[in-house]
Amino acid sequence: MVGAGISGLGAAHRLRGAGHQVDLIDRAAVPGGRCGPGILCGRAIMVGGRLIGAKYTALRDFLTELGPFPLEPAWMRLTHLIDGDLVALDHRDPASTLRYLVGAGAAAPDVVKFSYLSRRAQDEPGLLAPGYFSKLAGLGDRKPLTDHFDPVIARKLLAPMTIWMHGAEPDEVHLGSFGMVLSTIIDEFEQLTDGIQPVVAQLARRGVALRTGTTVSRVLVRNGRVRGLTLSEGGGPAVDRHYDAVVLALPAVVASELTTDEFPALAKLLAQVRYLPAAAAVVEYDREVFPPGVGGISLDNGPCRMAGAYGVERRNTVRYTFSGRAARPLPTAAVLDTWLGRTERLLADSFGLGALRRRGVVRRGWAAGYCAYLPFHLEFTTKLRHELAACGRLSLAGDFLLGTSLEACFRSGVAAAEAVTTELS
């Protein structure tokens, strides 16, 4: 197992449950991948992906079986700062959103279209899988969302959604993946109270061997079958280690680099997937930041596009997300601090707080933070399965397969483990 994010954890758990010995390998010193585990003022947090939706059945079953681990409510009801005005839009009250769009001058046919797609998304699982939106992709994925909706809807409604889910602007997102965005946004969310760290620790107690601080440089192949990995532990010399099978639970761009020598056709296909950078900071303050009933604020421009309370009970702790075009390329630490300070002043002014005093801050940045899904995604995954069929005892997991949510990543890991188990049996 290469990669100790949610996809890797799902694959490792399923493989261990099937009776296999599992090494979970990650180049970071602390496992957790883009969940971004950290400690803020003595408490575990997740700076990156952390939200667990009510629809996330596979991930919730895993947490119950392995734990249980305590969950706490997480805010998702946002106030939008649009053209200098604070606008409250609640996904549980779609009629108010539609009235706002009409009042803002959105084209009526496009308002009706958005309403219809939202209703269809309620019945979707939030995955990139065959269904209504994959059929819609066949008709509309030659154009981005901005060619399907008027500019008012694109800027005031779609941009906060797509940047939150994809780190991408509406003109970088297609209809086929938009259903995943809608389905996820209209969910209700919780988060792990104690972060991802206890989950990883429990997996280790169940027999999964953690190899952190370990860099993989090559997939070893003999006679068309994967035989192991070339890896370096703790900055030491590269060594070849034998494995009966390998799961790469990594961003597509990283998996491409590891497979380019032995499986060039697969690597070329994976290299088509584009990734977008993201940075985030979680800050604890000396007071609550948001007024009652406000879980966070979505910003309509600048590098910080969202600032939200870390949880219902942690309203003095704010998670800032820096994504979208204005946050590219990935900022240096100094630039990120400048962006953070600017957003703090904006929050203070918007809610009449005065100067905010920090108690602690944790920052993270990812060059491959978000997957920018290809148009005609199901065609891509069909080609991927075809190429994988020729790569004996190699499987893939990650956000580029089923979607960006924790549930989608976890399910991709489980599917990768089941594919490997089938080959080994």
- CATH number for 296: 3.90.660.10
Residue 115 near residue 94, CB atoms below 8 Å: yes
Q: Is the pLDDT of residue 233 over 80?
A: yes
Asked whether the bond before 94 is cis by omega within 30 degrees of 0, the reply is no
* 397 & 358 share domain: no
* 159 & 289 share domain: no
* 325 & 364 share domain: yes
* 396 & 355 share domain: no
What's the length of the chain?
425
- Asked which of 9-18, 55-64, 113-122, 403-412 is least confident by mean pLDDT, the reply is 113-122
* 40 & 64 share domain: yes
* 286 & 364 share domain: yes
Residue 277 near residue 336, CB atoms below 8 Å: no
**Structural domain ending residue among the three candidates 141, 157, 181:** 181
Instruction: Using CB atoms within 10 Å of the CB of residue 112, give its burial: 0 to 12 exposed, 13 to 18 middle, 19+ buried.
Output: exposed
Q: What is the overall mean pLDDT for the chain?
A: 93
* 278 & 401 share domain: no
Instruction: Select from 62, 156, 70 the least CA-distant residue to 110.
Output: 156
pLDDT at position 98? 81
pLDDT tens, 320-356? 999 999 999 999 999 999 999 999 998 888 888 888 8
* 200 & 323 share domain: no
Q: 186 lies in a domain?
A: no
Count of beta carbons in the 10 Å neighbourhood of residue 361: 17
- Residues 292, 299: Cα–Cα separation, whole Å: 19
Inter-helix orientation angle 57-66/406-424, to 10° = 70
* 384 & 312 share domain: no
* 268 & 379 share domain: yes
- Residues 238, 217: Cα–Cα separation, whole Å: 8
Determine the structural domain holding residue 229 and report its residue range.
6-70+192-273+374-424
Count of beta carbons in the 10 Å neighbourhood of residue 115: 15
pLDDT-derived band at 90 (thresholds 50, 70, 90) equals low
pLDDT at position 91? 65
Angstrom distances, CA of residue 224 to CA of 212, 262, 264, 343, 381: 28, 9, 13, 53, 22
pLDDT at position 95? 75
Domain count, the chain: 3
